[in-house]
Structure 1
Amino acid sequence: MMPTAIALPSTDQEIGPRRPGAIYQNTDGRFEVLALITHPGEAAKLLRRDSARWAVIVRDTLRPDGQPFAVGSVWTTSDYLIRSAKEAAPSAAFAPAA
């Protein structure tokens, strides 16, 4: 019997609508997306993992002292978009080095 091939989700499917400027909510809080990192080496470093395809830097808007932090959890049905991303160039502060 041949094993069945399983299609893995694409990076865009895993990230969902989380682009800079977007605000989304789930059971953990309400988050503003500050940056999207798609360079695997930088994403792994930010998430303190051996490997990662991407990372999102967010700030919890429900906490007055909310500090930016990186997340690497995939977009699921428990996440919902409150505000769509802004159409703007990515921040130079979070751009991968050339």
Structure 2
Amino acid sequence: MPIITDFIARRLPLSEDEIGPRHPGALYQNSTGAYEVLVLVTDPREAAQLLRRDSARWAVIVRDVLRADGEPFVTGAVWTSEDRLVRPGRTTDAFVPAA
């Protein structure tokens, strides 16, 4: 069965493609709002727990910056052509204090 497994693995989108440029600190916009990425979770077990699903490969915690009462929330929505990057985020896990 390795041939079928290899075929399926090649057909699955890469997590990086699904996440897109949503790294901590990034700001992106789509038709539903403008979101600041607070945390990118790439541990599948933690992502599934946050999304309350049986399985997940990743999750993103974001905050809608257009809402005064915008509370952080978890999403597993994939990056699409409808999403627009406004400000890139950090691609490293190092802590960078705000100015």
TM-score by length of 2: 0.82
Match of 2:53 in 1: 49
> Which of 62, 72, 77 pairs up with 1:73?
77
Identity of paired residues, percent? 61
Give 1:14-53 correspondences, 5 Å limit: 14-53=18-57
User: Displacement of 1:90 after TM fit?
Assistant: 5.4
Unmatched runs of 5 consecutive residues or more in structure 2:
1-6
Pair 81,72 (structure 1): closer, same or farther in 2 beyond 3 Å: same
Note the alpha carbon deviations across 1:40-65, whole angstroms, 9 max, x for none. 11101111111100000000000001
Please tell me whether residue 62 in structure 1 is matched to residue 66 in structure 2: yes
**Structure with greater helix percent:** 2
> What is the aligned residue count?
88
SS of 1:50's equivalent? coil
Q: TM-score, normalised by structure 1?
A: 0.82
Matched residue SS, 2:63:
strand
Runs of 4+ in 1 over 3 A off after TM superposition: none
Structure 1 residue aligned with 2:16: 12
Q: How far 1:86 sits from its partner (Å)?
A: 3.1
> Match for 1:24: what amino acid?
Y
